[in-house]
Chains A and B, each alone.
Chain A
Amino acid sequence: GAVVSQHPSRVICKSGTSVKIECRSLDFQATTMFWYRQFPKQSLMLMATSNEGSKATYEQGVEKDKFLINHASLTLSTLTVTSAHPEDSSFYICSAKIAGITDTQYFGPGTRLTVL
């Protein structure tokens, strides 16, 4: 089956630093990737939709200058949390859609970000 990986799985950083999270589709091409954020006991909230080769579409209330998304290839999207603060601590999950198949999204295992 289609596999999506995320790296790192867990990161702890100091306030003010930037953190990059990678999302890779390992055995398929993903024209669209989605980035979600999940706070404890909360639902997954879509942050942005990332289409290969174009600018990401951000959800209302998500700062595009703080959460930089790059989708430079059909197998890789990155989310960079710039100048991270403790309130950015969360579980970040990506998903990817197989090119040409509209129904199925495959989710990565998530990245736990803790900002001290």
Chain B
Amino acid sequence: KQEVTQIPAALSVPEGENLVLNCSFTDSAIYNLQWFRQDPGKGLTSLLLIQSSQREQTSGRLNASLDKSSGRSTLYIAASQPGDSATYLCAVRPIDRGSTLGRLYFGRGTQLTVWP
């Protein structure tokens, strides 16, 4: 069974710092990996999706990398801002089988606080 681990569980930094959030997964047979943002009491917002054949994806100040063979992904946030404060979740989608096409396995998330 796929297990997803995120480190650190929480992170508190001053505004302007560059950050790295880590995600590891136990089964490298994945279809893709996705990073989400979740604000308190809210649903999920997709940030970046990396296909298994890709090494990285970029969107604005965010850059996500994927090393499938070692079971790792990192989310890099440049020049952090207070508005980046949220919980960041990593999710992997295994290679699809049967009737659970597209299911995701989530990590517990990294709770990020960026203070002014």
Chain A interface, number of residues (Cβ within 8 angstroms): 27
Complex interface: chain B residues within 8 A of A104 (CB):
46, 49
Contact B44 A102 (CB under 8 A): no
Q: How far is the CB of A53 from chain B (nearest CB, A)?
A: 12
Contact B42 A110 (CB under 8 A): yes
Contact B100 A57 (CB under 8 A): yes
Complex interface: chain B residues within 8 A of A43 (CB):
4, 89, 106-109
Contact B101 A32 (CB under 8 A): yes
B:61-111 near A, CB below 8 Å? 89, 91, 96, 98-109
Chain B interface, number of residues (Cβ within 8 angstroms): 26
Complex interface: chain A residues within 8 A of B101 (CB):
32, 49, 97, 102
Within 8 Å of chain A (Cβ to Cβ): is B32?
A: yes
Total CB contacts across the A-B interface at under 8 A: 65
Q: Which residue of the partner chain A has the closest CB to B4? A: A43
Contact B89 A110 (CB under 8 A): no
Q: Which residue of the partner chain A has the closest CB to B101? A: A32
A:57-116 near B, CB below 8 Å? 57, 91, 93, 95, 97, 102-105, 107-110, 112
Query: Which are the 6 A-B pairs with shortest beta-carbon distances?
Result: A109-B43, A107-B44, A43-B106, A44-B106, A43-B108, A49-B100
Q: How far is the CB of A92 from chain B (nearest CB, A)?
A: 11
Contact A103 B43 (CB under 8 A): no
Measured CA separation A42–B111 after assembly (Å): 11
Measured CA separation A104–B93 after assembly (Å): 11
Contact B43 A93 (CB under 8 A): yes
Q: Which residue of the partner chain B has the closest CB to A56? A: B99
Measured CA separation A43–B108 after assembly (Å): 4
Contact A107 B43 (CB under 8 A): yes
Within 8 Å of chain B (Cβ to Cβ): is A46?
A: yes
> Can you offer 27 A-B residue contacts whose CB atoms are under 8 A?
A6-B43, A32-B101, A41-B108, A42-B108, A43-B89, A43-B106, A43-B107, A43-B109, A44-B44, A44-B91, A46-B100, A46-B104, A51-B99, A57-B100, A97-B101, A102-B102, A103-B49, A104-B46, A104-B49, A105-B102, A107-B43, A107-B44, A107-B46, A108-B43, A109-B42, A109-B43, A112-B41
